Structures are given as C-alpha cells and as structure tokens.
Chain A
Amino acid sequence: MRRYIGKRLLISVGTLFVVILLLFTLLQYMPGSPFNDEKLTDDQRAVLYEKYGLDQPIVVQFFKYVYNMLRGDFGVSYTISKNTPISQLLQTRLPISLRIGGQAVLLGAVIGLILGIIAAIWHGTFWDTLSTIISVIGVSVPSYVFALGLAYVFGYELRWLPLLYSNDLPFESSVLPSIALCMFTIASIARFTRSEMLEVLGSDYILLAESKGVYGPRLIVRHVLRNALIPIVTVLAPLIVGLMTGSLVVEKIFSIPGIGSLLVTAIQSNDYNVVIVLSFIYSAMYIGIMLVVDILYGVIDPRIRLSKEAPHD
C-alpha cells in the first residue's frame, strides 16, 4: 500500500514537473521580451536583466521559475490589466469558479446517485427507462446548450433568476450556471451507479444476504451501495475534465468573472503570462485531484489495499 502511494506520488510530481518544463519552454519561445523598448541603452538593459535574473544560465532561471510558481508568485499580466500581479487577478476569480464547480459537483452527485439507485432497484420499469433517457441526454447534449436553454427560459422569459452574474447576488446568480454544469455529472454518475448496482445485485453475496433475511433499505444501503460505490471514484476523472471545459462555456454565457472566462480573454488578447499561469493551475488541480482519487481508491478497495503490487500494471 505504501509502495502504491509512493509510486502515485512520484508520477504526479513528475507530471507536474513536465508541465512546468513545457510551460517554461513555451515562455522562452514567445515573441518579445519585457524590455524591448528602443530607448534603452545596452547598459540599462543589462542592469534590468540582472535585476530580474535574466542574465543567469537557463537552468538556474528554470529552477527559480519552478520555485516561484510553487510559491504562488506568478508574475504580472501584460495586456488584460497592465502590470497587475496575476495572483491578485486570481484572488477574486478563483473562489467564484471553485464555488460554482463545487455546487455543480454536489448537486450532480446527489441527483445522479438517486437516479441511478432508482433505475437499478426498479430495473426494467418506467423509472429505469426515464433515468436512462435522462442520462443519455445528459451525456450527449453539451453543457452550453443546457446553459442557453436555462438562461432563456428562467433568466429571460420567466425572469426568476438573474440572466447574468452579479456580485451582489452571488447565490441566486450561481444557481443556473451550477444546474447547467451539473447535467453531465448527473448523467455519468446515474449511468455508472445503475450498472454497478445491477452487477452487485446479481452477485452471490447479495443472494446470501437475502437468504439470511436482510431486505429493503438495509440490504440496499449496507450491502449493495457500499460495494457498488467503490468504483465510482473512477468516473471522477472525466467529470473533472467535463467541469473544467464546461466552466469556460458556462462562465461565458452567464458572464461570470471566474478563471474560465479569464483564460478565454487571455488567449484572445495574447496575454501569455496569464495563459501559462492558468494552464499551470488547471494542471495542478487536475493532477492533485487524480492523486487523491487514486489513493482513495486504494484505501477503500480492500482488493487493492491488501495486494502488495499496484493494481494496474
């Protein structure tokens, strides 16, 4: 088990290192330098280069860069808001995105689980069909189509909730974006829960439990759900990817001042520094969550916990 965690940790750190190396290399090849003002003499430029450490060997620069990135010192934005430290830009935007993402995950997980459980218990009935239809639509229809539909019906026609995000109504204006974002989560979790539960329901140990007189909610919660939910952590990876891409779109539609819309603006206005920092943050979040998921999977699944070797090798 310890070996397994160690190996996962090593791969994660390695990947993060590769990402930073990639980003650093890209930065080197970006056109222009911060000091290409023609009025500067060579001496002045040399002084500036020394001040910012640009005269040092590339390897030293790289490790300095890694150190700064990990410390949260991301440099300044060039075009979006001139010379503002990027960490300051993130300070207000990151919490908004995280909150909406978190709400979407929570809402999606709860509804998805309920749908999946209903479909599995009443397998083959109307409820099963309904849940399947919902999950097929949820997987197939892009989140921005939902977002547009919700915005039109509830934001524009009925005017129940704000059409655009406003900082004065942080909760009300995050309801529609969260619902639009969570459709994909609902669909994948419902689908997965259903198939896992059906598999467990057909297994011998459930037959044994039933013949020993366990039935009803107790059987479902203590025996079926507990075993069926172990592999559900594996769907988290595509879910996070879905949330990341979804957030870009949903933030655009509802004009949410989060990091997704910042990334889009940064790419369109060629603000390399911001793009690279956001890429780093997205990668770090993704790698971090995947690490937690993998370790969690190892901890909750006794088949992995007890085996000496790593699970998939």
Chain B
Amino acid sequence: MTDKEQIAEIIFRPDDFLLKGADETKLDMNFASQRFWKDAYMRFRKNKGAVFSLIMILLVVLLAIFGPLVSNYTYQEQNIAETNMAPRIPLLEDLGIFNGDETLRTSTGSKLKNAYVINKETGEKKDTYYWLGSDALGRDIWTRTWTGTRISLYIAIVAVLIDMLIGMSYGLISGYFGGKVDSVMQRFAEIVNSIPTLVIVTLLMLILKPGLMTITIALMITGWIGMSRIARAQMLKLKEQEFVLASHTLGASNWRVIFSEILPNIIGQLITNTMFSIPNAIFTEAFLSFVGLGIPEPMCSLGSLISYAFKSFTTHPFQIVPPVIVLALLMLCFNMLADGLRDAFDPKMKEM
C-alpha cells in the first residue's frame, strides 16, 4: 500500500474537529452559512425600484404567455374588412375611452371617425373588439404585441445562457490558467471585440437568412466578451488567496477549484453583469427587426411591430404605442433590476 492510498483511507467524521469554546461564543450556525444570500435578499427588498421592476417583468412575462391565448385572434390572422381599427375595449368604452373613436387629420381639419359603426343613423356598432386596435392588414395588435414580447423574452434567456455558459467559463479559465493560455485567449477575445457587432450581424445576414436563428448566432459570437472580462478580472483577484492554496493542498482538481471554490465567491457580480446584458440583447434584436433585418413576416417581434406601425404612425399613431411601451418598459425594468441586484450584492457600490 502506497502513502497516497493510505491517506485516502482516512475518513473524517463531522465531530472530528470541534470549534474551541463554541459553547461560550454561541456561534449561530444556521445564519452563518446563508448570510450572503440572505443579506443580499434583505438589501434587495428595500430597493423599491428594483422590486417594482421585478414585479413588472413578471407581469410582462405572464401577459406574454397568456395574452395571445385570451384574445379571439391569432397573431397572423388577417381581416381585410377590418383594417386600422382604433382600440375598443368592453366596459371601458362606456366611459368614453377606448370606444373605437379615432381623430383623423385631413387637409381641411380634423374629424372624428368610428370604424366600428355599421349604421350611421342609429350609431349601432359591430360586435367586434380589437383591444389595442388592428393594423393595416387587419391583425389584432394586442395579440401581436404579446407574441412579439415572447421573442424578446426568448432573447433575454439566450443572453443569460450565453453569459453564463460561454462568457463565464471563458473568463474563469483564461484567468485561472494564466500565462500562454491566458495570452492566446485574450488576444482572441480582443480581436473578436474589435469587430463591431453591427458588422458581424451584417455579415451573418449575407450567409444566413434573416431570422431568429441568425440573431441568436450573432449574439453568441459577440455576447460573451463583456462577461468573460469581468469573470477573468475577478479570477485574477481571487486565485492567489489562501483558500485556493488550501484547496490545492488538499488535492482538489483545477476544475473543482474553479467552479466550486472560486465561482461561489464571485457569483453575485456575475449575476449582476448577466442582468445588464439582457437589455442589451433585447435591444439588439429590436434594433435588427426595426431596420428590417430581423424576424420575417408574418412572425413578429417588438422591433418589427414598431417598424411596421412606423409606416402609418402619422395617420394611426395608436398602432405604434403598445409595442413601444412594452419594449421601453422591458428595457427600463431589466436595467433597474440589474441596478438593484448590484447594490444588493455589493453594498459598497451603493454610495457611488
């Protein structure tokens, strides 16, 4: 039997080591191990803006899931007889708002029009409701807005996965091994980073068809760099510390040191950074769809809806409002949530 095997034979039991004077000092074992998360949670809860943002995001997610289901229309159903209908909502129409009235501006002045009225003398209205109106092809804007929101939320998930899987691992590995590995990996990242995202996306458009897949690939190529930098910087800070040395001495593998010793120490910052990359990714998709390089018709995203409504936004401004509000709300809330998380994980940043 070699020395190594002998060492492996030794098995420690929980009561082999006891803290000296544990009875007198009254160490709170339960609280101690959860302190970081509990602390962060307490601080997060106090930040009203961040909590509000979280609630709004959840609300948008719920609406994106159930919004299209509760309406009577599908996102691609066209009704040529009912184009450019103004918003009309049951109950609210009795109060004089959202009753399908629309003010049209003409060369002689403005006039009030209601496209739902079928009999002009009696003022009788059709029994159809477009909650947020219909577009130039007679498609329901409510359904299309929430279907488009799904695309943005999908992009948000993609952004998180890219950050967590590619960016984090790349940075941690590069920082941990250092030397030649780090040098090569950093030069590569620098070169990828020096090519503007816009150019990468454009070139992808030439090879692949515009669509969700192309956008996903574009995000994969460019989205990980910011995260990898932060992960690497944190790794460089931590890897010389004693607990890493201790872990090495006890025979832990590189893999274990990186992912279960060092990672938990920096996870807060990595989560914060991930949250900041979500609005960026959502924006990239909306931007591409807006200039007509995104999701092809009849599918829709918030960006393509805005682009589509933009064509008639001087005549029917109500069409552009819902996608713009949802997009701006999503971006704002994700940003504020990320701010809140940063303050919660790293209270030192709060003073700044």
Contact = CB atoms under 8 A, between A and B. Distances in A.
B: contact size bracket:
35 or more
Contacts of A248: 198, 287, 291
B287 A249 contact: yes
Q: Is the interface of A mostly helix, strand, loop or mixed?
A: helix
Interface string A239-251: 0010011001100
B33 interface: no
Given A152-B317, A275-B206, 17 more contacts: A11-B194, A15-B190, A19-B199, A136-B336, A137-B332, A139-B335, A140-B279, A140-B332, A148-B313, A245-B287, A248-B198, A267-B202, A268-B292, A270-B206, A278-B202, A279-B199, A282-B196
Interface string A53-91: 000000000000000000000000000000000000000
A22 B194 CA distance: 13
Nearest to A19: B195
Nearest to A137: B332
Interface residues of A, number: 49
Interface stretch (B161-169, B262-270, B320-328): B320-328
Top 6 A-B residue pairs of the complex, sorted by shortest distance between their CB atoms? A15-B194, A140-B331, A140-B332, A279-B199, A195-B352, A140-B335
- Say whether chain B's binding surface is mostly helix, strand, loop, or mixed: helix
A87 B310 CA distance: 32
9 contacts: A23-B203, A26-B207, A136-B335, A140-B336, A142-B286, A264-B291, A275-B203, A279-B199, A283-B199
A18 B193 CA distance: 12
A144 B306 CA distance: 9
Given A11-B190, A136-B335, A140-B279, A286 B291 contact: no
Contacts of A235: none
A272 interface: yes
B7 interface: no
B37 to A, nearest CB: 26
Interface in B290-345: 290-293, 306, 310, 313-314, 317, 320, 324, 327-328, 331-332, 334-336, 339
A137 to B, nearest CB: 7
A306 interface: no
A181 to B, nearest CB: 13
A276 B199 CA distance: 9
Nearest to B332: A140
Given A144-B306, A245-B287, A249-B291, A30 B206 contact: yes
A288 B43 CA distance: 43
Contacts of B334: 140
